Amino acid sequence: MKGCCILVSSLPNTPDSSALCPLSGKLLLKHELHYPDEQIHQWLNEGAVTHISSIEKTLTGRRCMRCGNTKHYLFAEMPCHACQSTCYYCRNCIQMGRVLACQPLYYGASATSYPEHPEPCEWEGSLSRFQLDAATRITAAMASERERLLVWAVCGAGKTEMLFPGLTQALSQGKRICLATPRTDVVRELLPRMKAAFPGVSLEGLYGDSPDKAGDAQLIIATTHQLYRYAYCFDVVVIDEIDAFPFHADPSLNYAAKRAAKATASFIYLTATPRRKQKWAIAFRQLPVVFVARRFHGYPLPVPQLKMIASLRRQLKAGQLPNVIAQHIASQQQRGTRQLLLFVPTIQLAEMLTDLLAAHYSSITSVHSKDPDREHKIQQFRNREKSLLMTTTILERGVTFPSVDVFVLDAGHDVFDEAALVQMAGRAGRSPDDPCGDVIFYHAGKRNAMVDAVAAIKRMNRIGSTL
Amino acid sequence: MRCLLCHASIEQDVNWDTVLKPVETRVMCAACRETLPLIEGNVCPICNRKMDCNATCSDCQKWEQSDKWQGVLKRNQSLYHYHEGIQEVITQWKYRGDYVLVKLFQSDIERIVKDRRKQWPTAVVPIPLSSERLVERGFNQAEAIARLMTRKPVHLLERLDSEKQSKKTRYERLNRINPFRSKTSVPPHVLLVDDIYTTGATLRYAAKALQDAGCLHIESFTLIRG
């Protein structure tokens, strides 16, 4: 995190008069400041807001001071109208507004203090004995400074609830907290739960087109991309699903998360399927870890069955569904006890199979990332209006349906890595009323990812059974 | 080289061409190349829309039947078909302001300019942006295209309004005061340049302004035929 250090040392000390400045703790572009120019000038004169050069030269190239990008191919030149010359801009964070070299970033020194809430939590549930240990560790990490903790908890362990004691304590100390997750759907799902649990605390949910925009709340729930707009303002940063796309693949999001936190901040990472990088960090004791190997209801994870169909790919390519699968779907639907989540690797396949199955099952619906109607369709499935949901990997994590079976078609496809398979299997059996669920991986030949996923699930069940 | 759209690295083929010909740098991978389909086959001779046979399309017939617009725009030439994939590229380029994506179109534009060098007028006039929009985007997309076609685009037009075209209905686009004003001294033959031909209204208003100033023959070139 070299970038962070450079930025910290170049910041002037600012007086306390900035307590009222609404830009406090933010790092924004000119067009994101919705205040009159005189007001901004006044803040600049007072020192509440500082200019920061947006793209800095480094020894070997450039660095975008908003997203930390240093890759040369993610910078480009354009003839700039504002400065009437050729200007560099950052292509990495361009979807959050273009950072141009000739236009500075506006940094509001974070001096705002937040209220101390003595008893903020109104959640009335209780933690299971499996969750308690992790919750204690999380509380301790949040209470101290510069702590890092990885919570390795199986799918359906109740990660959000485990955070509540820690959040309660941090809020009672007047700390500012950010809960970041790579996925918009997760923000949407978490927001009402957190609002219900902490009704007296100012709370905002931020994502691409969220209704909340200001981002001044004490408890922020946001997609990791939104952290590009913050600097040195959170006392606690919780990153949910650290192994999920795009967080694990984009180093600039990690940069943004670190920059959004104060130097003294604690980091809590949550995951069910750590990547190799985190596993190494655990193995070398670089990253403290706490395991939660049992689901909150105490039952083991459903272990996937592997079913090989040699002609699977050929038949899917020809637009047919293999008979075995069609029969399984038919008998599953006839039983009628559980809903069915059907995972497919590509959007085209999802659309093709939905058309094919719609002839037999009226209560089928499908979602994918390009689907404008997806929120509504997921809600329909949740309300049990539909009994069969065809989906791509967008629903692999972060969503809970009480009673489903999970079928994965072509589990050997490249888009399904070990983490994705474990997550998809983890959709089944999440409710204490129905703790089992069938998970079937249909494949045209075993791949490492499948075998590793089954081994990982069995391992967690083994650890859990000794508790 | 990396693909400008998906950032995947592009493998250059190694064959005798690599040794014998000047290096041709590709800016797009093969998969992304497919998001830019060239217009081929039968098209409307006036607006370049894709047709079943080489007949004038119904929209152009309407334009040509009206006294006001008849013959204002002689011919439009476009490069790509409009579809969702290209819409994403244009959004990234024009609205998000990723200027460098203009390079995606460079080789296709250079080829068409070479083909049409004899037919096309030499004065290349980009459709201007309102100053408000120019400040917001930082560059004029029509001018970016024009710069790939010629070293010196001619600025003959000025835009008076600031509203976005894409938010208007066809009726609103066609029935309003001309948003363009032309300079008084204009060359007799002009090639207008814009990013997209949707209804053809923008280009015709610009052509009308030029015609009123004394222009005789006006053609247009757009990246996309919407």
- Identify the pLDDT of residue B173: 64
Report, as an integer, the average pLDDT of B135-159.
92
pLDDT at A235 over 90: yes
Instruction: Tell which residue, A256, A241, A288, has the closest CA to residue A141.
Output: A288
Instruction: Give B25 or B224, the one with higher predicted confidence.
Output: B224
CA distance, residue B68 to nearest chain A CA (Å): 36
What's this model's pTM, rounded to 2 decimal places?
Answer: 0.84
Among A113-117, A328-332, A398-402, A434-438, the minimum mean pLDDT is found in A398-402
The answer to whether A89 contacts B97, with C-beta atoms less than 8 Å apart, is: yes
Element (H, E) at A105: strand A105-108
Give A337-382 pLDDT, tens digit per residue: 899 999 999 999 999 999 999 988 889 999 988 888 888 998 899 8
Q: Is the domain covering A305-465 a CATH 3.40.50.300 domain? A: yes
Report, as an integer, the average pLDDT of B6-35.
84
The CA–CA distances, whole Å, from A344 to A87, A395, A446 equal: 44, 11, 17
> Are the C-beta atoms of A100 and A13 separated by less than 8 Å?
no
Q: Do domains A129-292 and A305-465 have the same CATH topology?
A: yes
B92 touches chain A (CB under 8 A): yes
pLDDT at A14 over 80: no
Q: In the structure, what pLDDT confidence band is assigned to residue A20 with cuts at 50, 70 and 90?
A: low
Tokens 């078609």 -> residue: A409
The answer to whether A77 contacts B100, with C-beta atoms less than 8 Å apart, is: yes
Q: Which of A31, A73, A89 sits opposite B7 (nearest CB)?
A: A73
CA distance B59 to B198: 11
Residues 100-129 of B with CB under 8 A from A: 100
The answer to whether A94 contacts B92, with C-beta atoms less than 8 Å apart, is: yes
Instruction: Give A223 or B161, the one with higher predicted confidence.
Output: A223
Which of A81, A84, A348 is the best mutation test for B, with the most CBs of B within 10 A? A81
Residues making up chain A, counted from first to last: 467
Burial grade of A446 (CB within 10 A; 0-12, 13-18, 19 or more): middle
Residue in A with minimal Cα distance to B85: A370
Supply A170's token pair. Answer: 């941090």
> Are the C-beta atoms of B22 and B13 separated by less than 8 Å?
no
**What would the CATH number be for the domain defined by A129-292?**
3.40.50.300
CA distance A235 to A141: 11
> Are the C-beta atoms of A451 and A317 separated by less than 8 Å?
no
Q: Which of A74, A76, A82 sits opposite B99 (nearest CB)?
A: A76
Domain boundaries, chain A: 27-108, 129-292, 305-465
Report, as an integer, the average pLDDT of A9-37.
70
Chain A interface residues (partner B, CB cutoff 8 A)? 31, 73-74, 76-82, 89, 91, 94-95, 98, 100
Q: Is the ipTM of this complex over 0.95?
A: no
B98 touches chain A (CB under 8 A): yes
CA distance A369 to A382: 18
- Identify the pLDDT of residue A215: 87
- The average confidence (pLDDT) of chain A is 90
- Identify the pLDDT of residue A50: 92
CA distance B28 to B10: 8
The CA–CA distances, whole Å, from A457 to A374, A414, A451, B111 equal: 29, 20, 10, 57
The answer to whether B97 contacts A98, with C-beta atoms less than 8 Å apart, is: yes
pLDDT at A329 over 70: yes
Residues making up chain B, counted from first to last: 226
Q: Which of B92, B96, B138 sits opposite A82 (nearest CB)?
A: B138
- Identify the pLDDT of residue A326: 93
Task: Give the strand pairing for A219-223 and A85-90.
Answer: unpaired
- The average confidence (pLDDT) of chain B is 89
- Identify the pLDDT of residue B30: 86
Q: Which of A78, A80, A95 sits opposite B100 (nearest CB)?
A: A78
Alpha helices in A145-212 (DSSP H): 159-172, 184-197
- Identify the pLDDT of residue A2: 40
Report, as an integer, the average pLDDT of B192-220.
93
Tokens 């105490």 -> residue: A298
- Identify the pLDDT of residue A110: 75
Report, as an integer, the average pLDDT of B206-212.
93
Instruction: Tell which residue, B132, B196, B181, B104, has the closest CA to residue A81.
Output: B132
- What are the φ and ψ backbone dihedral angles of B97, each rounded to 5 degrees? 90, 30
Tokens 């309660």 -> residue: A168
Which of A91, A93, A100, A102 is the best mutation test for B, with the most CBs of B within 10 A? A91
The answer to whether A31 contacts B92, with C-beta atoms less than 8 Å apart, is: no
> Are the C-beta atoms of B36 and B104 separated by less than 8 Å?
yes
- Identify the pLDDT of residue A183: 84
The CA–CA distances, whole Å, from A447 to A299, A322, A444, B11 equal: 28, 20, 9, 27
Which chain A residues have a beta carbon less than 8 Å from that of B2? Answer: 73
Which chain B residues have a beta carbon less than 8 Å from that of A80? Answer: 138-139
Considering chain B, what percentage of its residues have pLDDT values greater than 90?
A: 53
| Residue A398 backbone zone (phi > 0: left; psi -120 to 50: alpha; other: beta) | left
The answer to whether B98 contacts A91, with C-beta atoms less than 8 Å apart, is: yes
Report, as an integer, the average pLDDT of A239-244.
91
Which chain B residues have a beta carbon less than 8 Å from that of A76? Answer: 98-100
